Amino acid sequence: MVLLRFAPSPTGPLHLGGLRMALYNHLYARKLGGKWILRIEDTDTTRSVPGSVEGIQKALSWAGLDYDFGPARDGPHGPYFQSERRDLYRSYANKLVDNGQAYRCFCSADELADVKARLARSGSNNTYDKKCLHLSDEEVARKVKAGEKYVVRINDGIVPTRPPTHDIVYGYVRDAHLSLATDPVLLKSDQFPTYHLASVVDDHEMGITHVLRGEEWLPSLPLHLDLYTHLNLTPPQFAHIPILLNPDKTKMSKRHGDVQVVDYMRRGWEPHAILNWLALAGWGAKHEPEQPAPSGTSSSSSRSPSPHRLEDAPDSTHLMTLSEMISGFDLPALTHRSSILDVTKLEYINKHHLMRTWSNPKGLEELAKRVHGLVKDVFKASPYTTVNNIKNAITLLEGRLTNIHDIPIHAPYLFVEPDWTSVEAQSMIRDISVEKRMHIIDAFMTVIQANGWLTFEAASHESIMVTLHQEREKLGVQLKVFMRVLRHALTGMKDGPAIIDIVRALGHERTITRFQAVKDVKDVDDVDVDAESKK
């Protein structure tokens, strides 16, 4: 069975790069008819943060990425916490030691630092002098019996014969053993494994067929393949994913930038829009046919392009459902470069996902209910924060709404009376006399009341505009002045939806009440708009 794994460390909230990695695992597993595991790599106890696992699970659930096996979803591959698999790692480490492919190193941290500095001064690229490799079996046994702490290192001088290093995304990669630390540590002195050993052991023991992970592990791939060969294990297929960058082109991390998934959850972004945005970050490359595997080894890596895409990949703002992502996703179509996450693309994608959702009554109802608590909290004293009124707000704002949480910003006038004394409201009518404003308001009220409210609601937008133009012409007022006065009276805001749509959203009673109330507002001469604007 095709089986993948998403293996985060519990070092804090899940960030966008982690969510994209989980998404790619989900897409590829489902595309191949397989399953995926959530595995918690908690072997570095000094960096573990309480509550991180629950936060990761919550973020994945919010995004709709349902893992098949893992914490709270038992299966045949557990345990799913690496801290509960220590005996397994020790047994594999001992097997490597017994076979002479690894050895115990008793050097202290101070000794190792001195050796590394000495080697650097001599111009060597080595980071360790392999001192403990040359200890006799008797010396090793004596030190172990005496309780001396040790780590287990792989002997990188033994390079096994195996197939060339290949990656699904990057193609064939030249082995780069010399770019790694000398004799990398497999088992630490606290008997916890390093990533090198733990990932190989767990991926084999769990039956992982495809490993998707960050490109920072690409230089370590030859080492990991060596371990598989030493242990006589069949390796999975590897795909190293180019990382995401912050807008300033720095590496995205939990400690840098606004990258935590929980922040996007709190701000009301649509989970499917977030997935759409992340999926397309770096998806869309076209590569030349793959070259034959290079021979030999080198201290630098050389990456041959992956096979040419048979189909055009989507552009960076292409709207996709999760099922469409699954059917269209292809690892060789990923770019070989790191990708910058552009929030303006998220705004575009989120806006159109919202439009898809509210295009049917059930989706509109769900959106209104989801944002109901927020609207009530913003307008605590308002009697108009009902689900139905929020549905009216969503429908009214349509293409203007980028994020569902922006309703209170774009349409406060649907829930509370406008502040006609605000700088923005006063600036709208500063050059229009009170008399002219009252005539315009009376003219609009006449249009509403002429044939009754029901007739007004049923009339087309075009027919109402014809009637309004007739009234405007009787007054001899310019169109922009006429509409500005109405917008001021109804919303107190310069920009917004069409006047007729606002009136219909407010309803007959609230519209008439608002027109009557605005007549009591003081003249704009009482407010120094320019002075207020400079504050």
Check which CATH number belongs to the domain holding 429 and give it. 1.10.10
Of 205, 226, 245, the last residue of a domain is: 245
Residue 207: which residues within 8 A CB-CB, separation 6 or more? 1, 3, 77
**Backbone phi, psi, residue 88, to 5°:** -65, -45
Of 245, 272, 300, the last residue of a domain is: 245
Asked whether residue 451 carries a pLDDT value surpassing 80, the answer given is no
Question: pLDDT of 409-418, one tens digit each?
Answer: 999 999 999 9
Same domain assignment for residues 153 and 222:
yes
* Burial class of 380 by CB neighbour count within 10 A (0 to 12, 13 to 18, 19+): exposed
Whether the upstream peptide bond of residue 160 has omega within 30° of 0, thus cis, is no
Q: What is the mean pLDDT of residues 473-485?
A: 94
Q: What is the mean pLDDT of residues 316-334?
A: 93
Q: Give the pLDDT score at 345.
A: 93
Do the domain assignments include residue 137?
no
Same domain assignment for residues 96 and 217:
yes
Q: Give the pLDDT score at 507.
A: 92
Do the domain assignments include residue 121?
no
Asked whether residue 437 carries a pLDDT value surpassing 90, the answer given is yes
The CATH number covering residue 174 comes to 3.40.50.620
Q: What is the mean pLDDT of residues 280-292?
A: 69
Same domain assignment for residues 9 and 80:
yes
464: left (phi over 0), alpha (psi -120 to 50) or beta: alpha
Q: Give the pLDDT score at 293.
A: 55
Question: pLDDT of 161-210, one tens digit each?
Answer: 999 999 999 999 887 677 789 999 999 999 999 999 999 999 999 999 99
Same domain assignment for residues 59 and 195:
yes
Give helix 461-475 / helix 499-506 axis angle, nearest 10°.
110
Name the residue with higher pLDDT: 144 or 461: 144
Give the CA distances from residue 63 to residues 22, 35, 78, 345, in Å, rounded to whole numbers and listed in that order. 10, 17, 24, 18
* Residue reference for tokens 């698999």: 85
DSSP string over 319-345: ---HHHHHHH--GGGB-SS-EE--HHH
Same domain assignment for residues 389 and 463:
no
* 90 HSE (CA, 13 A, CB side): 10
The answer to whether residues 115 and 153 touch, using CB atoms and an 8 Å cutoff, is no
Q: What is the mean pLDDT of residues 102-121?
A: 96
Do the domain assignments include residue 252?
no
Do the domain assignments include residue 304?
no
Write down the mean pLDDT value for the chain. 90
Name the residue with higher pLDDT: 87 or 251: 87
DSSP state of 282: T
Cα gap 232→252, rounded to integer Å: 37
Do the domain assignments include residue 282?
no
Asked whether residue 399 carries a pLDDT value surpassing 50, the answer given is yes
Same domain assignment for residues 518 and 379:
no
The answer to whether residues 440 and 475 touch, using CB atoms and an 8 Å cutoff, is yes
Cα gap 214→251, rounded to integer Å: 12
* Active-site residue list: 254
Do the domain assignments include residue 293?
no
DSSP string over 396-407: HHGGG-SSGGGH
Residues in the chain: 535
Do the domain assignments include residue 314?
no
Sheet holding 185-187, edge to edge: 102-105, 151-154, 185-187
Q: What is the mean pLDDT of residues 46-52?
A: 92
Asked whether residue 309 carries a pLDDT value surpassing 60, the answer given is no
Cα gap 242→281, rounded to integer Å: 10
* Residue reference for tokens 């139905």: 388
Asked whether residue 527 carries a pLDDT value surpassing 70, the answer given is no
Cα gap 436→233, rounded to integer Å: 87
Q: Give the pLDDT score at 528.
A: 45
Same domain assignment for residues 408 and 429:
no
Q: Give the pLDDT score at 521.
A: 64
Same domain assignment for residues 410 and 429:
no
DSSP string over 519-534: TTSPPGGGS-HHHHHT
**Backbone phi, psi, residue 251, to 5°:** -65, 135
Same domain assignment for residues 451 and 516:
yes
Q: Supply the range of the domain harboring residue 509.
A: 423-533
Q: Give the pLDDT score at 446.
A: 86
Cα gap 432→482, rounded to integer Å: 10
Range in 231-240, 385-394, 428-437, 457-466 the model is least confident about:
457-466
Cα gap 403→355, rounded to integer Å: 11
Give the CA distances from residue 486 to residues 116, 436, 493, 501, in Å, rounded to whole numbers and listed in that order. 77, 12, 10, 12
> Reduced to 3 states, what is the DSSP secondary structure of residue 349?
helix
Same domain assignment for residues 410 and 449:
no
Q: Give the pLDDT score at 297.
A: 41
Same domain assignment for residues 81 and 163:
yes
Same domain assignment for residues 394 and 529:
no
Give the CA distances from residue 16 to residues 37, 50, 215, in Å, rounded to whole numbers and listed in that order. 19, 20, 16
Q: Give the pLDDT score at 259.
A: 85
Q: Structure pTM?
A: 0.87
Q: Give the pLDDT score at 257.
A: 53
Chain-centre distance of CA 217, in angstroms?
A: 21
Q: Give the pLDDT score at 188.
A: 96
Do the domain assignments include residue 136?
no
Cα gap 223→213, rounded to integer Å: 15
User: How many domains does the structure of the chain reveal?
Assistant: 3
Of 245, 275, 298, the last residue of a domain is: 245
Q: Give the pLDDT score at 253.
A: 64
The answer to whether residues 79 and 37 touch, using CB atoms and an 8 Å cutoff, is no
Q: Give the pLDDT score at 46.
A: 87
